[in-house]
Amino acid sequence: MATGNRGLNGCLDYSALDYSTSLHFATVGTDKGHDGASGLPFLNHPEVINDFAFRAVHVEAVIGKQIVQAYYGKPAAKSYYLGAQRVAAERAADHLLTLLGSQGQLLHPRYSPGAETGQREQPYGTFFQFAADWERYVVLNVTTHDFTNFGLSDIVLFDEVNGGDIATFDGDLSAFRNLGGKFIAYHGRRDPGRFAQLLSSTNSKRVYDLISDTFALPSLDDFYRLFLIPRMGHCSGVIGCPEPVSLTPRRIISSWRLWTGWRAASRPQLSSARGQMRAEEKAEVGSDFLAD
């Protein structure tokens, strides 16, 4: 199990390592090539940007498999990646409006109605720190910048620079699918989250539609599943109902494990009201996996 980071973060995510190892996975983490939660290490260091954008995850996978082989004397049976979306250049729009480019192209969708109620901690019109760091240290290679006049030209420049070739809006996942890959994504409909203006859940729907159009399939359920969670903010936090997604031993990882063929094939389903495991899941997973 390879684990990821959040935002622009370097350093190891020890909570993810603890969670994955508690489920008896051989687990590896990465600092994405830098320390700290800011974008300052990217300044004038293109190779650090490359580490963050793609290389660190590749090295993490290669070294992780080598460690498993050396320790257990056999290769890993399955390979998993557990991580959040990376937020860099996402937040530039009025949350209630769809943002279009000079040629009418979609640059950023509106947030779902009701998501704006999560913005009390960060006033509208302010610039989100991750996006500010990305423009300063990656796009412009400067230490100071005035964001007062941020506009369409800045967004175009973000796309043109595309530091570390980080843009991932590509619907062709054929190589991943042909290798037997399985992808589970979830997104809170109330994202942006409580403490930051982050990612519209409409973006996850756009990615799903793009993949569906690229493959021209009636359904993507055999390898790609998207769950949109009502009332959830960014990654977690739900108003007015029990938490539907949490770091418990018996939820998304168990479904993922079954879906990838560890035991009998089974498509992942949304959790029941309080995250209790269904009887058929308990039978499939086995007591060795459910140790608390």
**Tens digit of each residue's pLDDT (9 = 90 or more) over 113-162:** 766 665 554 555 667 788 889 999 999 999 999 888 888 888 888 888 99
* Last residue within a domain, chosen from 165, 193, 217: 165
Report the distance separating Cα 51 and Cα 33, nearest Å. Answer: 5
Domain span at residue 115 reads 99-165
pLDDT digits (tens, 9 = 90+) for 55-109: 999 999 999 999 999 999 999 988 888 876 554 444 434 444 566 666 777 776 7
- The total number of structural domains in the chain stands at 2
Q: 188 - beta bridge partners?
A: 229
Half-sphere CA count of 274, side-chain side, radius 13 A: 0
Q: Is residue 269 part of a domain?
A: no
Neighbours of 141 (CB within 10 A): 14
Q: Is residue 275 part of a domain?
A: no
**Is there a single domain that holds both residue 14 and residue 80?**
yes
Q: Is residue 195 part of a domain?
A: no
- This prediction's pTM: 0.74
* Last residue within a domain, chosen from 52, 84, 116: 84
**Is there a single domain that holds both residue 67 and residue 126?**
no
Q: Is residue 30 part of a domain?
A: yes
Asked whether the beta carbons of 255 and 266 are under 8 A apart, the reply is: yes
Report the distance separating Cα 123 and Cα 126, nearest Å. Answer: 6
Q: Is residue 77 part of a domain?
A: yes
Q: Is residue 123 part of a domain?
A: yes
